[in-house]
Amino acid sequence: MNNPAFQENDPSYYRVTKVRMLPLIPPGPNVVLDLGCAAGRTGLKLLETNRAAYLVGVEIFGPAAQEARKHYDEVIVGDLEDMHLDYKGRFDFVICGDILEHLKNPYRIVSEAYHWLKPGGHLLVCLPNVRYWAVLKDLLLLGRWTYTAAGVLDQTHLRFFTRSSCAQMLEAAGFQVVHLQMIVHGPKKNLANRLTGRLFEQFLGSQVLASGRRAPERAEHGHGSPLP
């Protein structure tokens, strides 16, 4: 995957802390796998708030991975979809923060993550919401589906999700969805969301944040869901 933001040395892309995900990880000696860890800012915050005792990262961009190694115990460099990670039952949490939409087959990665988790472990997922009002406005009123340098229609996005399709992906892999929310950015949108009783939240939220819990046992569903 070619990432122009990283090549241009834009620190806003790979030095972001995924602050919305932090409250979903309680304090404790957690073993955490961070897929797409970038420069490791999220892991650093987990360490600073005593939410992680051991951190493993996967990152495709070498310079970012090198920076993440300052904080992570292990960082694997390469394309996640080309890897075979033998991590059966190792992690308390697996983080997929803004990465699944960049993959050819995110369903396979979610299914594999189930096995990387300990029983009772959690997969945390953050995804762009293609049901966002600006995307629908351009599509329905103007007939435009225009890729951009960042945002919901980031030019590097290969897969698109809504709140319900995110939940379905987790459930198909055997997870129990225990947290599912829309992330609404900006004071005006948040005010509109409150005043309308969250009726239009799925259009005002540009991202979906979810957590799926691994049950002690599950019926096997095969190796990932088929490509839709």
pLDDT in tens, 132-185: 999 999 999 999 999 998 899 999 999 999 999 999 999 999 999 999 999 888
> CA–CA separation, 197 vs 192, rounded Å?
9
> CA–CA separation, 183 vs 161, rounded Å?
14
- In Å, the largest CA–CA distance within the chain is 51
Q: Which helix (H) or strand (E) holds 14?
A: helix 11-14
pLDDT tens digits, 87-120: 999 999 999 999 999 999 999 999 999 999 999 9
Structure tokens at 109: 């990665």
137 versus 12: the higher-pLDDT residue is 137
**pTM to 2 decimal places:** 0.87
The pLDDT of residue 1 is 46
- Collapsing DSSP to helix, strand or coil, 65 comes out as helix
36 with 83: CB under 8 angstroms?
no
57 with 10: CB under 8 angstroms?
no
pLDDT tens digits, 24-52: 999 999 999 999 999 999 999 999 999 99
- Return phi, psi of residue 116, to 5°: -75, -20
3-state secondary structure 21-34: HHHHCCCCCCEEEE
Q: What is the CATH number of domain 4-126+161-184+206-213?
A: 3.40.50.150
pLDDT tens digits, 48-69: 999 999 999 999 999 999 999 9
- Collapsing DSSP to helix, strand or coil, 86 comes out as coil
Report helix angle 163-172 to 106-116, nearest 10: 50
The pLDDT of residue 215 is 83
> CA–CA separation, 22 vs 20, rounded Å?
6
